[in-house]
Structure 1
Amino acid sequence: MSIPCEFIYDQNTYKCIITDFDLSTIEKIKNFNGEHFQGLSNNEVNMIVFRSSQMSKFPRGLTNFFPQLKMIEIFSCGLTEITKNDLYGLGNVVYLSIIFNNLKYLPGDLFEFTPNLQIIDFSGNQISTVGFAIFDPLKKIIEFTMRENLSVDVGYVDEFHPKQSARKLKQFKNYIKEKCRAMESLKDIVTMKLADGINETNVVDIFVCSSQFQLKGLKEKAFKMIKKKIVPWIDEDMINKPEKVLKMIENRKIR
């Protein structure tokens, strides 16, 4: 089936935007139908945006239409699941944003075919469990955000100066333990760890911006790759006002 869309050139990014369209009954996309800017074609599109549409499955085969695709955004489309096979063929994508959908679980092998992802945002879903070692394939990750989910609220970025957030790792771990100990409703589950291959120069801060953290019974392996140069930022302003953290992330630009 042909998908109606709008092509927009904005801030050096050529976008294909699909708005308010029902993709839930489409088994296979045949093409995207919209008017290109003069002199441009599908070959120049580097971002696709699905906005306020309906979809039961992640749209596969996007690079068959847009070979230079680097960024994908799915906003408020009712998506309920995503698997590694959905991301097959997206090895050059650096930005993935699936926000305000209905995802509940992220499998541990989700990013097996997308090692070049730098910025990932799953905010505003219903995620309660993240598969073990999910970050392992992501050697270039800069930001990962899952704000406003059921009981997962985590992010890390590379832009804050360590001296501005001088906290020791021991203080960071003790803080989370105390926070989780006070929340008896949390289950004894640890499902998330940092990638073994993350370059420490890419990540200088790890921060917590919510009291709803699924880390009761915290284990050392969750902090296996956090080294001394990675200084946690934990202060009351960040904890009580997570929207400030989100704003910082939203203001970043892909390199």
Structure 2
Amino acid sequence: MIARFEELDWQPTRMGELTLRRRTEPMTGQLIYEVKLGDEYLMSSLFTVAEEELARLGLAAAVGSELAVLVGGLGLGYTAVVALRDPRVRSLTVIDALPAVIGWHQRELLPVSSELVRDPRTTLVSNDFFAVIRQEPVEDRRYDVILLDVDHSPRHQLDPTHADLYTVDGLDALSRHLTVGGVFALWSDDPPDAEFLAVLGAVFDRPEAHVVEFDNALTGGVSSNTVYAASRRGGTDA
């Protein structure tokens, strides 16, 4: 029998103490997985709709039948697994800065871990997504879709070193990792931000802010997140 609260892992990181815990919802008996960084809740398996929609909306905007996908931020794995369920995806690379998070999935501690790590298309990489994006593509490797779910929003970052990505120069650097017409999609906990949408539109074509609503069992109401999506402009990959 699982205790009401069970700590599955705890590890120190440069950003604070990282904790994975599992609890039982008393009213329903549902198992809930939660991640905390210090005193801050990062994610919960109670709320996965927007993370899943990040993958669906990003892939819906993509063209082609053999897609290479890059995911920034592994978390509980829902974005990555939904991407794998699209039969057009031929490869999925997930970058996470916290080795502990990758370890959780390799140990299959989370509900979708086995589906993720046992799929031969999956590659998990321990690295800083933001540092990778600042560099030129390695061996000219580019992706058809880049999905990002790390920070709370373009204005509220987990780490101040991430801030440069959400500028014209930062997004221009990211665009070089995409194929022509490739899609960048971003999760945000904030409502649509007109200023960021304008920055996105300065670099990409067809920028959109999708509001994703979902039932909130904690409040008894409806909550929402935002998924931004845009496509790399035409030209060459040179």
Decide which structure has the larger Cα Rg and report it: 1
TM-score of the superposed pair, with normalisation by structure 2: 0.27
Q: Which has the higher contact order (CA 8 A, sep 6+)?
A: 2
| Higher helix residue share | 2
Using structure 1 for the length normalisation, give the TM-score: 0.25
